[in-house]
Structure 1
Amino acid sequence: MTTKINKKPLSFFYKNILIMFRGTIIAQIIAILVGFYLAKLYGKEAYGFLGFFVSIMNIASIIGTLQLDNCIIISKNKNESINWFNFILIIILPITLFIFFVLFVFSKFILIERLDTYMFLFCFFGSAIITYNLAHQRFFTFQKKFSVISNIKIFITICAVILQFILFEYYKLFGLIIGFLMAQIILLLYNFYKNKSNLNKVNFNEIKKGIILNKSLVTFLLPSNIINSLANNLMPILILAFFGAEKAGVYFFSIKILATPLFLISSSVSEVYYQKSSELKSENKIELLTVTKKIIKSNLLIMVLFLLIINTLGIYILDVFFENQWEYLKTYILILSFLILARSSFNPISSLIVVLDKNLIGLIFNCYLFIINLIAIYFGVLYSNILYTVFILSLFGGIGYYILLYYFLNHLKRNQLNV
């Protein structure tokens, strides 16, 4: 049976990607140009604590919504989406409070130098604020307000870098963190202003029915994404704990440089692809496979070109700019390139895990990534050489992403044959 591809929705799909790409690329250009200067200004230690802060915040934000924020996007109508949106806004703060209560109780087991009360407060407020902003972004995505999301990216980036630059004179170690927090607060106020007309009472009966209907989100996707977040964000925490803030700073900055185009691609494509793939799941499986392949090919082409440039001319420019003060930066970049290339092949289409209800597969893969992190840090500490950690993480993590990509492409191909 042959299914005709509807060209108009497809062109609208790419138009939305271009809208997202516009905002993301402008934001990233600003972040890169100013970011290098901020890195030179603040130094490795400040970036080490920033990496710890971002990692804790990313992990906590995954738990903060219990992954039910996905229901905002996959809702069948606007009323249902609004109900989920308001429910998510209610549960974020108590869940985040519980997370940091547990973290505070067990903090004596975390052997991290200079990790004081201020860092806990930074991480708590950052986690709560970014999770609220995530809920708003999900609602914008449901409404297909991609231009709003795009403009927000530019606005928040400009705010953050300006504040971080100003705050260096007052907070030379934590200015990066405080500037980021202040920018996120400004964004939160803006988001509530934009969505104030959609703040309503929650129909808990409908929420209960929705949770039962989408129980795999909590039973499989939540633990899967928690483990995935741990796998992707644990390393800056562990490196800071076992090797110190400066080495953690170099690792975090290396990832930040390499992941810039990946973030650019994911931020531009993932939200639009999520919404589109959810529609195509039952409507047009052939089109879903076609769109997915095109995205993967373009992602890999962009990343290969970037990685070639950054590992040749880029390394020379970085050495000159930083005056060789960031030891091992070029080595980290070279080793981690394999992992970043592998991530870029799957991350922008990772919403397939939810859309195709393959949350168990996601859970298994994320367990694998988490174990690789622990093995990597074990051998690094055992031989007192952080390069062992970075090499193991990049090699085996990258292989895992390629296997996962093959699985989903094969699954989409089988579905196409059954149309």
Structure 2
Amino acid sequence: MKDKILRFIKRPFIRNVTIIASGTATAQVITMLLSPIITRLYGPEVYGLMGVFMAIVGVIVPISALTYPIAIVLPKSDKDAKGLIYLSLYVSVIITIIITFTLLFLKQPIVDLFQIKEVSSYLFLIPLVILSSGILQVIEQWLYRTNQFRITAKTIFLHALILQGSIIGIGIFYPVATVLITLSALGNGLKAIIMILIVRNSNYKKSINLSKKNISIKSLAKTYNDFPIYRAPEVFLNAASQSLPILLLSSFFGPASAGFYTIAKTALGAPSQLIGKAIGDVFYPRISQAANKDENLTILIKKATTLLFLIGIIPFGIVIIFGPWIFSFVFGEEWVVAGEYARWIALWSFFMFINRPAVKSLPVLSAQAFHLTFTLITLITRVLVLIIGYYVFADDIVAVAFFGVSGALLNIFLILKTLKISKKYDKLNKVK
């Protein structure tokens, strides 16, 4: 038994997941230890304004390079992968310029249309966030491709320590929305800088050669055009559906409601960041390699999904049962409503937690058109349930409950549909 456990731990997949998870775990420990201080310094109203701004940013950032960085993991040759790095950076710069000019000339109409007057003065931070996010995505995907997971783990830890420490350090003297929003907006840029510094001071830099010789950027853009055509719209719609509750709750029930949702979602994101993201980040290059070798992808997806199910059932279950008491105790009595939100968000978050292998498999299975359709249906569903919660029941907790239940059902469908697609893929490719 001992030998079997040791062999299991030494498997590359498990080892890489452990490396990522260790960095994420320490970052989450820092975040969770400091969160009670942050929530008591800033309060629900300020947290709500930060949530609204980050919800706006969250819609745009995922498409800062039209998802071309995600393709960096896929090519068999490093030359094509490096070509995708250049392509991604070019696209990110172009989008940053477009957003900058859009804000210069259309800022007020945008503010009036989306009723975001409270955060209008912070909108010019968005171009900086977009550019830094595009650079970060490129670095992360290259490190995933080359299995440099230790660098990623170190970055996650240092980023959490510096960012959360800064929020508290400055917040002690100036606990205002400007501090919280500005530091949050600089988060991706800080993470990219830390990652670059670690890479430059490691032996890894010797293996990087970003020469453009014999690289056709135009050809690569055409070869991987399913990413901007299908994946980018899907990511945009998914980000919109993730940000939508914050914007609608703020509009329907006020900034405090958005603050309750933000802290509940952040707290429940801890297991996803700790384990779900770690497995997803390692699983993506693993299943890409498996597809190139004609391995059975369905078995890989089932194993990873089952593992996440077993890991997540207890922590998410505890929140569903004891949510209000936990949030009141940890974050302060004024956050008890966030605990009520968390009960329902936990239901949705649990199935989103276990769907990571399915989502990561879709590009490999050439099923990005399905993913786009699914995400569009998800967005429409979330809009409808929140509107029903407001106009029919006039109750924010009911609205969040509808949101959580619908999210759980949709994610169950996504997992089952992905398994069906993978079985068909395996059959067509006559897996080993």
| Same fold per superposition (TM over 0.5) | yes
Q: Identify the residue that residue 148 of structure 2 maps to in structure 1.
A: 145
Q: With the length of structure 1 as denominator, give the TM-score of the two structures.
A: 0.90
Q: Report the CA distance shift for 1:281/1:324 in structure 2 as closer, same or farther (over 3 A).
A: same
1:203 Cα offset (Å)? 6.5
Q: Identify the residue that residue 96 of structure 1 maps to in structure 2.
A: 96
Q: Identify the residue that residue 17 of structure 1 maps to in structure 2.
A: 17
Q: Identify the residue that residue 4 of structure 1 maps to in structure 2.
A: none
Q: Give the AA of the match of 1:403.
A: F
SS in structure 2 of the partner of residue 354 of structure 1: coil
Q: Does 1:136 align with 2:139?
A: yes
Q: Does 1:213 align with 2:216?
A: no
Q: Does 1:271 align with 2:274?
A: no
Q: Report the CA distance shift for 1:416/1:90 in structure 2 as closer, same or farther (over 3 A).
A: closer
Distance in 1 of aligned mates of 2:52 and 2:166: 20
Distance in 2 of aligned mates of 1:73 and 1:95: 22
Q: Report the CA distance shift for 1:111/1:405 in structure 2 as closer, same or farther (over 3 A).
A: same
Distance in 2 of aligned mates of 1:244 and 1:67: 33
1:50 Cα offset (Å)? 2.0
- Give the stretch that moved more between structures: 168-177 or 96-105: 96-105
SS in structure 1 of the partner of residue 333 of structure 2: coil
Q: Identify the residue that residue 340 of structure 2 maps to in structure 1.
A: 331
Contact 2:53–2:119, Cα closer than 8 Å, also in 1: no
Which of 372, 382, 391 aligns to 2:381? It is 372
User: Can you give the 5+ residue segments of structure 1 that lack an aligned partner in the other structure?
Assistant: 1-6
Which of 106, 116, 119 aligns to 2:120? It is 116
Q: Identify the residue that residue 181 of structure 2 maps to in structure 1.
A: 177
1:335 Cα offset (Å)? 1.6
Distance in 2 of aligned mates of 1:318 and 1:131: 34
1:179 Cα offset (Å)? 2.7
Contact 1:239–1:247, Cα closer than 8 Å, also in 2: yes
Q: Identify the residue that residue 158 of structure 1 maps to in structure 2.
A: 161
Contact 1:141–1:272, Cα closer than 8 Å, also in 2: yes
Contact 1:87–1:202, Cα closer than 8 Å, also in 2: no
Q: Does 1:354 align with 2:363?
A: yes
1:343 Cα offset (Å)? 0.7
1:199 Cα offset (Å)? 7.7
1:149 Cα offset (Å)? 0.5
1:202 Cα offset (Å)? 4.8
Distance in 2 of aligned mates of 1:23 and 1:9: 17
Distance in 2 of aligned mates of 1:322 and 1:298: 31
Aligned positions, number: 411
Q: Identify the residue that residue 340 of structure 1 maps to in structure 2.
A: 349
Q: Per-residue displacement from partner, 1:49-76 (whole Å, max 9, x unpaired)?
A: 2212322222212221111112211122
1:228 Cα offset (Å)? 1.2
SS in structure 1 of the partner of residue 118 of structure 2: coil
Contact 1:122–1:177, Cα closer than 8 Å, also in 2: no
1:106 Cα offset (Å)? 2.5
Distance in 1 of aligned mates of 2:419 and 2:387: 34
User: Can you give the 5+ residue segments of structure 2 that lack an aligned partner in the other structure?
Assistant: 1-6
Distance in 2 of aligned mates of 1:203 and 1:71: 20
Q: Identify the residue that residue 29 of structure 1 maps to in structure 2.
A: 29
1:158 Cα offset (Å)? 0.4
Distance in 1 of aligned mates of 2:239 and 2:144: 22
Q: Give the AA of the match of 2:348.
A: L
Q: Identify the residue that residue 246 of structure 1 maps to in structure 2.
A: 256
Q: Give the AA of the match of 1:244.
A: G
Contact 2:46–2:259, Cα closer than 8 Å, also in 1: yes
Q: Per-residue displacement from partner, 1:346-382 (whole Å, max 9, x unpaired)?
A: 1344121111110111011100111012112322331
Q: Does 1:229 align with 2:232?
A: no
Contact 1:270–1:349, Cα closer than 8 Å, also in 2: no
Q: Identify the residue that residue 57 of structure 2 maps to in structure 1.
A: 57
Distance in 2 of aligned mates of 1:199 and 1:98: 30
1:290 Cα offset (Å)? 2.6
Distance in 1 of aligned mates of 2:135 and 2:163: 18
Distance in 2 of aligned mates of 1:199 and 1:90: 18
- Give the stretch that moved more between structures: 61-70 or 83-92: 83-92
Contact 1:372–1:392, Cα closer than 8 Å, also in 2: no
Contact 1:86–1:199, Cα closer than 8 Å, also in 2: no
1:296 Cα offset (Å)? 0.9
Q: Report the CA distance shift for 1:70/1:317 in structure 2 as closer, same or farther (over 3 A).
A: closer
Q: Report the CA distance shift for 1:15/1:95 in structure 2 as closer, same or farther (over 3 A).
A: same
- Give the stretch that moved more between structures: 377-386 or 178-187: 178-187
SS in structure 2 of the partner of residue 328 of structure 1: helix
Contact 2:319–2:346, Cα closer than 8 Å, also in 1: no
Contact 1:161–1:179, Cα closer than 8 Å, also in 2: no
Identity of aligned residues (%): 19
Distance in 2 of aligned mates of 1:314 and 1:335: 9
Distance in 1 of aligned mates of 2:214 and 2:66: 16
Q: Report the CA distance shift for 1:21/1:411 in structure 2 as closer, same or farther (over 3 A).
A: same
